[in-house]
Amino acid sequence: MIIANPIYDVVFKRLMENERVAKYFIGTFLNAKVEVLEVRPQEFTYIKEDESARAFDLTVFRLDFIAVVRMENGETQKILIEIQKASKEVDLMRFRNYLDEQYKKEDEIDGRKEALPIKTIYILGFKLPTIESPCLHIERRYLDMITNEPIEKRSRFIEGLTHDSYVVQVERIGGKHQSHLEQLLTVFEQAHFVDEYGIIKDYPYDLTGDDFKLIVDILHHTGTDPETRKEIETEQEAWRSVNAMFQKRERELLDELEEKDHQLEEKDHQLEQQEEALERQRREIEELKRKLSGNDSGD
């Protein structure tokens, strides 16, 4: 079956606009049932007018949800879910800035304003050099430092200060689909492309479960829609322009560093020459002193 590549914001946005898909997507990562889901206003960053390319608008995708989830232990919790996608490691600072904003937000719990616990899902278009797993759960635990025993209970105060994260490396997804999570990850697998641009691909795996079938169905309709194809190509062109801009700036910085290194080498060379000249003068002065001293003795 032909599907669109969900690594593109245009495509991923189509998926997450469907409430049933969003509940399934979030619930699969959290290993919990999402009972209520409220979409927060979507936020975008627009980059306009690169001097080395034509004018463009680049949409950097970010989604915020308020979710009521039922965990495996039966506990119901209201949390803030943030989903972000990144193609470059330079997006780290953007992630940190967004998190800073989220920690400031409050919602009503039991009739009073409180900061919601946060869980983040990051979908990365690049590889983390030291981590080979395609999907990570960075979780926290409470540990009694006196007894070294784990603490099972949770504190709203602590939960409001720290958060769990889920990280997907799309370049490391290998096509396993034994669990619900592995099956979900297969749609992000960067393989089986039927075009040279990495936009459309053939999905070769069996479909199980109505929720997952809905995901593949949406991706199929998105991938066969000519208008969406144009939007994806525009996004792709924008990223090419941005990458070219970053590469240009990187080259400029490298040239600046090389020039500074050259200047430092020149200064080091000048200092060496000055030290040699001072050493020659010192020797000449010592020699002159010896001669004067010898003359005085002869007198």
Give the tens place of pLDDT for each residue, 1-12: 899 999 888 888
- The answer to whether residue 143 scores a pLDDT higher than 70 is yes
- The answer to whether residue 161 scores a pLDDT higher than 60 is yes
| pTM of the model as a whole | 0.69
Instruction: Please name the amino acid found at residue 214.
Output: L
Within-domain flag for 146: yes
Within-domain flag for 35: yes
Among candidate residues 173, 163, 65, 180, the one with its CA nearest the CA of residue 125? 173
* Average pLDDT rounded to a whole number, residues 25-46: 79
pLDDT in tens, 198-247: 889 999 998 888 999 999 999 999 989 888 888 888 777 766 665 666 56
Using CB atoms within 10 A of its CB, is residue 204 exposed (0-12), middle (13-18) or buried (19+)? exposed
Q: How many residues does the chain have?
A: 299
CA distance 230 to 224: 11
Highest mean pLDDT among 40-49, 84-93, 287-296: 287-296
Cβ contact 82:103 at 8 Å: no
CA distance 141 to 129: 26
Within-domain flag for 78: yes
Instruction: Please name the amino acid found at residue 150.
Output: P
Within-domain flag for 277: no
Cβ contact 30:11 at 8 Å: no
Contacts of 148 (CB under 8 A, 6+ apart): none
- The answer to whether residue 133 scores a pLDDT higher than 90 is yes
Within-domain flag for 265: no
- The answer to whether residue 196 scores a pLDDT higher than 50 is yes
Structural domain count of the chain: 1
Within-domain flag for 278: no
Q: Give the strand order in the sheet containing 33-39.
A: 33-39, 62-70, 76-86, 118-124, 163-169, 135-138
pLDDT in tens, 105-122: 555 555 556 677 888 898
CA distance 133 to 169: 8
Within-domain flag for 271: no
- The answer to whether residue 49 scores a pLDDT higher than 90 is no
Copy the structure tokens of residue 210: 């109505």
Question: Residue 40 belongs to what domain range?
Answer: 2-249
Within-domain flag for 114: yes
- The answer to whether residue 50 scores a pLDDT higher than 80 is no
Pairing of strands 135-138, 163-169: antiparallel
